Amino acid sequence: MNKKKAINATILTAAVLGSLVLLNVISAGLFGRLDLTRDGEFTLSDATRDTLEALRDPVTIRAYFSKDLPPPQAANARFVEDLLEEYYAKGDGKVRYEFVDPLSEETAEDKEKKKEVSRDIFGRAVREETSVEKELRELGIPPVQVRVNEGDKIEVKRAYMGISIQYGDKKEVIPVVAETAGLEYDLTTLIRKISREKAPKIALLTGHDGPDPQKELTRLIGLLGQLYEVSHLDLTKDAKIPDDIDALLVIGPKTPLSQDEQKAIDQFVMSGRSAAFLVGPVAPDLRTLAAEPTEHGLKELLASWGAKISDGLVLDAECATITVAQQRGFMQIQQPVRYPFFPMPKSLDSKHPLTRGLAQIAFPFMSPLELAVPGDGVKGEVLARTSKNAWTQAAPYNLDPFQQWTRDMVTNEGEKGLLVTLQGALPSHFAKGEGADESLKKQAENARVLVAGGHGFVLDQFMSPSNEALALNLLDWLVQDEALLAVRTRGLAAAPFDKDLTDGKRNAARYLNILGLPLAFVGFGLVRWRMRESRRSKVSL
């Protein structure tokens, strides 16, 4: 009998071990991960997967990270390595990556060069650069200074934290990975840029005394230049838009566009291409607090498509804060002031791809907009609205940030539209009515038009990370390249309480979020302790 039990025990043990081995073999090729973040920040987006699937040739990514980096750079390095592993796994053989410590690639000659240190005329230590340092410099990856705790002292060392991407004979670089937020967007954007045959061409309208692209729109032009081919278009010299232009930007013209210019823009949109009109009533100067009036002459054209621009400037109690310098005696004091001329909507349209996930965007010096869609074939949407406490101010405008905002100044109070889109079969403004030009195309098949009641939110002095994301989303939407919109806004969206919650419920939710988990662990421990004590009391010897 004992022998039979021993045999059964041996068989059971072998079965269990065999099952574990088989389970291990089966699961070796399986991988699963659960991402509980709201925006899926640790999961590759559909845009990235589609980009990798569309690759015709392999792309090689080399991450140059020095070994033994201090926090938080060490955590960034681990994140980058995990992210590249995800790209490799989803790349189906078309993504290769290397994680390189530059020191490990130094030759014996390089190590000797590092020992030969001399002093310049200022007493600073200098030496000849190594072959690795030269290669990284030519790539565009600079060394950075990091503070390292060595025993009982803190030292400053040179380190590398950059990424290079190569596709065929094309190369792009992320010089320094200072933080990991938005890294997937940066990587995927650069892969798309170097792997596509032709970049969309964007034209910026000039010739009407608008913002100087070299002085006031440098950040916008720089952002667009990373993804698109940007050109300047002056219709005052030749009222014709080239056929290779994919989208048109009209930003803050101060003088009226002629009828021929407007007709060229009208037919550009009728051809199914896209245009954005960032036009307002003033060109403000915060240094002098002057509001130079503008007259772009586009109201009738835009109204015929469904976007009505009303007179006046929008002011809102829910607004951004600006810093104003005040001279007090011999001292100049910087003072933060809430400025109603900078409406800051708490939320934008959460369903539209252009504004989904965006928040905390200031819209300086805007005119109110209204939708009046001209037909069933046109879809119009208001993407940004003020609060219900907004009002309008008629010219002449007083831009003094220290003025007293009294109730008698509030007229026409209520929500105001700041940003609208129009899409679909837009009608031509010049191919209707008596005397219409029959040679003009009368209707667009699927055009896209965006209208903003001002252009301040794209100027250099007002550009925030959220405004940059909005500007890039705007162009992606215009050229119908919406794949990266959701990736770009990851981590930018705030998660405020519902505006209808009472103060009591807000405080309850806040304290529950802070104390809930610790109290849950304490409660679990107490329950376990009582259960254990109960079992002990029932044990009899």
| Token digits of residue 429 | 């403004």
- State how far the alpha carbon of 485 is from the alpha carbons of 272, 327, 482, 499, in Å: 22, 44, 6, 26
- In degrees and rounded to multiples of 5, residue 151 shows phi and psi of 70, -115
Residue in this structure with the two tokens 């940003």, named with its chain if needed? 419
Helix (H, G, I), strand (E, B) or coil at 455: coil
CA distance 492 to 358: 6
CA distance 390 to 411: 9
- In degrees and rounded to multiples of 5, residue 202 shows phi and psi of -110, 135
Q: Which parts of the chain register pLDDT below 50?
A: 492-493, 541
- The distance from CA 163 to its chain's CA centroid, rounded to whole angstroms, is 20
Give 18-47 pLDDT, tens digit per residue.
777 777 766 655 555 555 555 556 678 777
CA distance 231 to 426: 26
Residue in this structure with the two tokens 């925030």, named with its chain if needed? 464
For helices 131-139 and 108-115, the axis angle rounded to 10 degrees is 90
SS3 percent helix, strand, coil of the chain, rounded to 5, is: 35, 25, 45
Topology annotation, domain 46-174: Glutaredoxin (3.40.30)
pLDDT at 385: 92
H-state helical runs in 96-244: 108-115, 131-139, 183-195, 218-225
Whether residue 72 has a cis bond before it, omega within 30° of 0: yes
For helices 73-90 and 46-53, the axis angle rounded to 10 degrees is 50
Give 472-512 pLDDT, tens digit per residue.
889 888 987 766 666 665 554 455 555 555 666 667 777 77
Burial of 522 (0-12, 13-18, 19+ CB in 10 A): exposed
H-state helical runs in 28-130: 46-53, 73-90, 108-115
Domain boundaries, the chain: 46-174, 200-488, 502-541
Specify whether the CB–CB gap between 207 and 252 falls below 8 A: no
The one-letter code for the residue type at 9 is A
Nearest to 424 by CA among 374, 379, 385, 360: 379
pLDDT at 517: 72
| Token digits of residue 105 | 């690639």
The structure's pTM equals 0.72
Topology annotation, domain 200-488: Rossmann fold (3.40.50)
- In degrees and rounded to multiples of 5, residue 247 shows phi and psi of -150, 150
- State how far the alpha carbon of 290 is from the alpha carbons of 115, 256, 399, 455, 463, in Å: 61, 21, 7, 16, 20
The CB density around residue 181, as the number of other CB atoms within 10 Å, is: 13
pLDDT at 220: 93
